[in-house]
Amino acid sequence: ETGVTQTPRHLVMGMTNKKSLKCEQHLGHNAMYWYKQSAKKPLELMFVYSLEERVENNSVPSRFSPECPNSSHLFLHLHTLQPEDSALYLCASSQGPGVSRPGELFFGEGSRLTVL
Amino acid sequence: GQQLNQSPQSMFIQEGEDVSMNCTSSSIFNTWLWYKQDPGEGPVLLIALYKAGELTSNGRLTAQFGITRKDSFLNISASIPSDVGIYFCAGGGTDKLIFGTGTRLQVFP
């Protein structure tokens, strides 16, 4: 139990569906992240929110839409995805900017997405 | 962009053996971190390094921040079956982490 919870753990969707991934952190952190993990590739940073403000959008297609309503919750809204978007989507949190030990990310267990 | 070269890609070892893996980069990093990912789980932080030359241990794990700030290694001593998983290095700059491609470790009894 890392203190970061992701739902659903598994999701299968068609290319015309709309779905959302949810992440919740119970660590009192100020920053939250979405990463994409595909086979045999490094973890790819998608979005970063710090104090509920988006500070990074790593050239992610608009069919992925993040939402951060407060510092404990993060969503990734999905619509009209492609089969190549199938991957493990990982949420992470960290203390945020201006801390003494930057970069220490705490990951959730991931949401395994399959796009048919 | 910044890239990390992590090696080896995979290792198959016998229980009790020691393991060594490393990451190198052409860029300088301020932070090196090592994560482990078990099947079906997210990565879990093992060791964080913040100073060039720093050597840190966590049980049977030892990691070092290279003096040039461009590399790091992770050693696991006396491996056990639960060490199985994928180990990732990550280099940190001022605002983001760059992850390696991972080392997949298999331990046979």
Reduced to 3 states (helix: H, G, I; strand: E, B; else coil), residue B74 is strand
Under 8 Å CB-to-CB from B94, ≥6 apart: which residues? B30
The tens digit of pLDDT for each residue in A81-90 reads: 999 999 999 9
The shortest CB-CB distance from B96 to any of A45, A101, A104 is to A45
- Whether chain A has a CB inside 8 Å of the CB on B32: the answer is no
The shortest CB-CB distance from A110 to any of B35, B42, B97 is to B42
What's the burial of A73, exposed, middle or buried (CB within 10 Å: 0-12/13-18/19+)?
middle
The CA distance from B21 to the nearest CA of chain A, in Å, is 16
The tens digit of pLDDT for each residue in B69-90 reads: 999 999 999 999 999 999 999 9
DSSP B8: -
b vs e for A11-50, b when ≥16 Cβ sit within 10 Å of the residue's Cβ?
bebeeeeebebbbbbeeebbbbbbbbbeeeebbbbbbbbb
The tens digit of pLDDT for each residue in B6-65 reads: 999 999 999 999 999 999 999 899 999 999 999 889 999 999 999 999 999 999 999 999
- Whether chain B has a CB inside 8 Å of the CB on A110: the answer is yes
Backbone angles phi, psi at B27, to 5 degrees: -105, 155
Under 8 Å CB-to-CB from A98, ≥6 apart: which residues? none
